[in-house]
Amino acid sequence: MDLFLQYLANGVVIGSSYVLVAVGLTLIFGILGVVNFAHGEFYMLGAYAGVTAVTLFGMPLPLALAVVLVFSALLGFGAEAILHKPMKNRDATSSIISSFGLAVALQNAALLTLGPQPRLLKTEFSTIPIELGPVFMPLQRALIPVAMMVLIGALYLILRYTWTGRSLRSMSQHATVARLCGVRVERVAVVTFMVGAALAGVAGFLMSSVFMVHPIIGNMIVLKAFTVVILGGMGNILGAAVAGLLLGITESMTSAYLANGLRDIIGFVIVIAVLLFRPQGLFGKAFERS
């Protein structure tokens, strides 16, 4: 039982990163309809930005987190100008192909400027142990689910109680009606990309103390994010949050009780099963036939 609780805690930590990346991805898709395969590169570059801020400039973690938020939001600003603004009146495949191109460009830029050498974030929090009953982990890792809950809670409050949040929700429901009601669609698109990129960048920074950071780390992350989005229901933020935690826990249990080699496979097997029996996702609404 003690080992089960430890594996469960490890799964929550990993799942928390999936939540942040997938919520940002589902925001971009649910509001703008953009399928962004470069989303994993926001994660990768956010991780590099955080590691550089801490190791090279000696910034404390809170300040480094602020740097990652700003840096990733600026990435989202630039990505919107490439993937959405010139493509919004074209076929959906145009933005998909563009996002692939952007992903490759960012990967190669990171490889050329930062090098292939993997990096790992180590701070004073890495050596402080946290023990909750039979569960043991470093403080830096234990803070990841806390940061996820704070960020997702803040996002919920913004979406629920601010004008910007109401604009985002109205765009996701009906863009034409939102425009007629005075919503500045162009601004909403920019904000959506910036928020989505910021969440992914923070996830990368938080997980840089768990997994090595390298230029192609975003490849698997974006696949996991799409897995979570499909499981939770396309465009469903709450579904993405729940599915992210479920996927992290499932991977942890698979690695512990079956085989570590099956860890990255199990999520895709679940997605295939969900698409076969519940195409709208676990928390999505059923599609209506016209």
Backbone angles phi, psi at 276, to 5 degrees: -75, -40
Q: How far is CA 3 from the centre of its chain?
A: 28
Mean pLDDT of 258-280: 87
Q: Is the pLDDT of residue 290 over 60?
A: no
Collapsing DSSP states into helix, strand and coil, what is residue 137? strand
pLDDT one-digit tens code per residue, 209-219: 999 999 999 99
Quote the CA–CA distance of 13 and 21 in Å, as a whole number: 13
Contacts of residue 188, Cβ cutoff 8 Å, sequence gap at least 6: 31, 164, 167, 168, 171, 178
Mean pLDDT of 90-102: 86
Mean pLDDT of 193-216: 95
CB-based contact 86:99 (threshold 8 Å):
no
The helix (H) or strand (E) run that includes residue 223 is: helix 218-232
The helix (H) or strand (E) run that includes residue 130 is: strand 129-132
CB-based contact 100:37 (threshold 8 Å):
yes
Provide the sign of the torsion angle of the four alpha carbons 217, 144, 127, 67, taken in this order.
positive
User: Has this prediction a pTM greater than 0.85?
Assistant: yes
The two structure tokens encoding residue 57: 């400039």
Mean pLDDT of 44-70: 94
Provide the sign of the torsion angle of the four alpha carbons 37, 195, 238, 285, taken in this order.
negative
Closest CA to 20 of 153, 118, 110, 138: 153
What percentage of the chain has pLDDT greater than the value 70?
Answer: 98
Residue 264's identity, in one-letter code, is D
Q: Is the pLDDT of residue 289 over 50?
A: no
CB-based contact 237:243 (threshold 8 Å):
no
Q: Is the pLDDT of residue 28 over 70?
A: yes
Collapsing DSSP states into helix, strand and coil, what is residue 132? strand
In DSSP terms, 132 is beta-bridged to 135
